[in-house]
Amino acid sequence: MCRFAVFLALAALTFPALSAALTDASFNQAIRNHTVNEFVKIYAQLLTTLINSKTPKAYQDHNVYLDLHLRFSECYSPQFLNYGMFRKWLDQLVLYHSDPVISVSSMRKQDNSVVFVLHIDVRPRLGHRKQFDLKITASNKRNGWSILFINRNLGCSKTFSTIPTQPAVVTMVISMPTIPSVAPINCELSLDSGRCIKYVATRNANPKSHVADELPVIRKNSHQDHHDDWESVNNLCHIIDSIVTVEMETDFFDGKAVLEIGFVTGLPSVYAFENGADEIAMHTADKASLELYCRATLKRNSIPLNKTKLSFGTIEDLRKFLGGRKYDIILAPDLLNRQESEFEMVHELIHEALSYDGICLFSCRTHYANVDGSLNAFLQLAKRRREFDAIERWSSPRTDIIQQKVFQLTRSLF
């Protein structure tokens, strides 16, 4: 009776948390025999729970409804994609977004089938909240409800597209089809100087375990690769290591207060602290990455809690976290992977957070396919504002389809 009561509660207009009893095989079979209205509400709740919790249990509860012959149509994809492709797209959505608000915007029933649209509002790691729709077709088969088709083309925005527009190549951005790969593991990044940064991340998150002086880059046709953000981290770590060991500025971090923003992993902060930084602060876009990876990275490197400050959320949350505090060095991997409309806020944030004689080092690509922000647009903004001088510290080869760069910002003298 208790399980039946939980089951009925799912049919309410609001979506309560799913019972832990879902692991019981008999209860799983029972909820697969629910009505159309109940199924739609339960699936919306399952997706909400998955994005919030990011646990193997949530993946299992959600994926029981996916038909193995499911077809997936994504933004600008030249062809229908399969079950595995959808799972990879789902991994990207779940791992890099949080705080979902999911509602059923329309529903059409026919016999034992239903076509419904979920309106999904989520917060990405970088920037403001994003909204998109999923049109889902499901059928109540002999073994219960199964999702047969998912359409991601409604009012499509490239923000959530993982397929390049060119029909010649279909490349997914996540190389993590299995649930265990979401779990944090111990990793190491070896720098050309011989130094090594220990960190915690998902398996195969970083495409490199060693960063050479040349930083060779594989040319790609896909403009949106899951590893692109990690390449920015590697590039920035290479530059700060070069400053300390090649340019012989061995006191570069001595006694400095360091802030890490952008695609935050903790690697640049760890390097800074091990080379004399007095205090480090880190701000991630979501709580999950902060708790699972960043905090674990600091702990693995035995960095004292009284020397660290951590926060998560939007740019406004970051501004509140800073509270007017100035930092000597700002390290910002993949800083410009966002909409151009957010560049003013980013520029203002650096202006507020950087000390008068401080330095900001940021890494980025020259442009991105998933957002309209570009390096040139940001540099033009900085030139108009006349508050910073921008100097290119490193660039990948000109032969790269999309170049990677590291820039330095310092206060303008005039």
The predicted pLDDT at position 345 comes to 94
Residue 226 has pLDDT above 50, yes or no: no
* Stretch(es) of the chain classified as CATH 3.10.450.50: 2-160
Residue 170 has pLDDT above 70, yes or no: no
Rounded alpha-carbon distances, angstroms, from residue 93 to 169, 226, 237: 21, 12, 27
Q: Which residues contact 37 (CB under 8 A, 6 or more apart)?
A: 11, 107
pLDDT of 247-260, one tens digit each?
999 999 999 999 99
The predicted pLDDT at position 18 comes to 42
Question: Given pLDDT bands bounded at 50, 70 and 90, which one contains residue 298?
Answer: very high
Domain covering 2-160, topology: Nuclear Transport Factor 2; Chain: A, (3.10.450)
The predicted pLDDT at position 385 comes to 95
| Token pair of 227 as six digits | 């590893």
The predicted pLDDT at position 182 comes to 55
- Report the candidate in 243, 81, 238 with the shortest Cα–Cα distance to residue 152: 81
Q: Which residues contact 388 (CB under 8 A, 6 or more apart)?
A: 347, 350, 351, 360, 382, 409, 410, 411, 412
> Is-above-0.85 flag for pTM?
no
pLDDT of 261-277, one tens digit each?
999 999 999 999 999 99
Question: Given pLDDT bands bounded at 50, 70 and 90, which one contains residue 243?
Answer: very high
The predicted pLDDT at position 16 comes to 39
Q: What would the mean pLDDT of 332-355 be, rounded to a whole number?
A: 95
- Report the candidate in 17, 87, 10 with the shortest Cα–Cα distance to residue 52: 17
Q: Between residues 214 and 382, which one has the greater pLDDT?
A: 382
In whole numbers, what is the pLDDT of the chain averaged over residues?
80
Q: Architecture of 183-411 per CATH?
A: 3-Layer(aba) Sandwich (3.40)
* Stretch(es) of the chain classified as CATH 3.40.50.150: 183-411
Average the pLDDT over each of 167-171, 211-215, 256-260, 406-410 and give the range with the smallest value. 167-171
Q: What would the mean pLDDT of 115-144 be, rounded to a whole number?
A: 84
Distance between first and last Cα of the chain: 75
For residue 191, count other CB atoms closer than 10 A to its CB.
Answer: 21
